[in-house]
Amino acid sequence: MAVMNILSAQSPLKAFLEGVSIEVMPRTAEKIDDFPALLPSGSRVYVAHIEGTPIDDMVATARRLAEDGFSVMPHFPARIIADATTLEDWIKRYAGEADVREALVLAGGVAHPVGQFDNSMQLLDTGLFEKHGFRRLHVAGHPEGNADIDPDGSTTNVDAAVQWKQAYAEATGTRMALVTQFVFDARPVIDWADRLKANGISLPIHAGVAGPAKLQTLIKYAVACGVGASLGVLQRRARDLTKLLRPFEPTEVLTALADHKRTNPDSLIEQAHIFPLGGIRASAEWIAEHRA
């Protein structure tokens, strides 16, 4: 009976990890000899485009992953794209050279745009993704708000952006999802999902979490990326010397989200997305262990 109870308790997490996605960068992908041996077949793999990464490297990584049978979703960060000509060139290269027609469209983390684009809506509004057959486009979600978008501490602008993106998806027939920044606490994501649904939003949410990593590493990334209320989870753990030296894993936050999804099947929260801040191999091994 005890074994059955344990399996029952674990089953929501296992179900929630079906379809889990992960992201890589070209420089980290180069260190992996065999992606199919590492990740579940058919996984969605985002290819993060960091400022300064040549588009040639991005396209080559996307092509390799696509040839390995993964669903590939390269980043299109608005603030590092100079103009519409560059945007169309990238879109055409992914489609023509890598047979990729999905994208994560986002503002990007740089403070000042290099060209005419400042946010994801401007990229979408060009119509270039539709023109070249991109029918699945994911966009960023901010369950803890975003100080760059709403400096006054409100959620006015991020809420308006979600409304705009839903209208875009409905008008164009685009399959869209909201992919969140990594969080360390389930509650902000659950509350945000409930609020969006109450406001008429129906876009599914892919909850971002950090894969296994040293606590110091996660705190560094959390501060740099402006993670809000859930940063307190890491700070509390840092005060516990018995946990300080052990890698932080996303088991607790994802179990809470999985339990919420099981008891609230109509929730906008659909699945998990892993940011492999402690290395892609560690994250892949964690996924394999908890899907087993």
Q: How confident is the model at residue 292 (pLDDT cuts 50, 70, 90)?
A: confident
Residues 6+ apart with CB under 8 A from 285: none
How many Å apart are CA 287 and CA 254, to the nearest integer? 11
Say yes or no to pLDDT of 233 above 90: no
pLDDT digits (tens, 9 = 90+) for 101-136: 999 999 997 889 999 999 999 999 999 999 999 999
DSSP state of 94: H
CA 274, distance to chain mean position in Å, is: 7
Structure tokens at 270: 């659909």
SS3 108: coil
**In the chain, what are the domains?**
14-291 (3.20.20.220)
- pLDDT (mean) for 260-279: 95
What are the phi and psi torsion angles at 207 (to 5°)?
Answer: -80, 120
Helical pair 84-98 and 55-67, crossing angle rounded to 10 deg:
30
Give the Å distances, CA to CA, from 145 to 30, 85, 157, 201, 220: 34, 32, 9, 16, 19
- pLDDT (mean) for 32-60: 96
Q: How confident is the model at residue 4 (pLDDT cuts 50, 70, 90)?
A: very low
Alpha helices in 204-266 (DSSP H): 215-225, 231-238, 241-244, 251-263
What is the average pLDDT score of the chain? 89
- pLDDT (mean) for 33-59: 96
Q: What is the pLDDT of residue 179?
A: 98
